Amino acid sequence: MSLITIERILNILPCEIDNDLDILNILGYKVIAKRGEFNIGDMCIYIRSSATTNISKEYHKFLIIMKNKNKVKDITGIAISLSNYPYEPAIGLDIYNFFI
């Protein structure tokens, strides 16, 4: 399984423990993102929690704190906008090398 891919957002729910975040459904997994950044059906960059990139470090810190408090369960990663991705996006495309 690739660590960073382009995926489509299937559903969006508000995060009950942080008003600045949404919980997205991507590939059936729960993923966090900045509140209001995405709409259902949008494409995004899905960064799995096991990936380490400069972009995801701020989110990793949040995930570690929340998981230790047992407030966030089953979160598998983060979603970020395609706005800085310079190439034509395609669902499922592995873009890990773009971030290293």
For residue 17, count CB atoms less than 10 angstroms from its CB and return exposed for 0-12, middle for 13-18, buried for 19 or more: exposed
For residue 24, pLDDT beyond 70: yes
HSE-CB at 71 with a 13 A cutoff on CA atoms is 11
- The whole-number pLDDT of residue 27 equals 95
Other CB atoms closer than 10 Å to residue 45's CB: what's the count?
25
Tally of structural domains, the chain: 1
Task: Kindly report, residue by residue over 56-78, the tens digit of the pLDDT.
Answer: 566 666 666 666 555 666 788 88
Three-class DSSP category at 36: coil
Cα separation, 25 vs 9, whole angstroms: 6
* Span 20-42, average pLDDT: 93
For residue 29, pLDDT beyond 60: yes
* Span 14-35, average pLDDT: 88
Please state, rounded to an integer, the average pLDDT across all residues of the chain: 83
Q: Which residues contact 12 (CB under 8 A, 6 or more apart)?
A: 22, 23, 24, 25, 38, 39, 40
- The whole-number pLDDT of residue 65 equals 60
Task: List the domain range (segments joined by +) for residue 68.
Answer: 4-99
- The whole-number pLDDT of residue 58 equals 62
- The whole-number pLDDT of residue 44 equals 96
Q: What is the DSSP letter of 88?
A: -
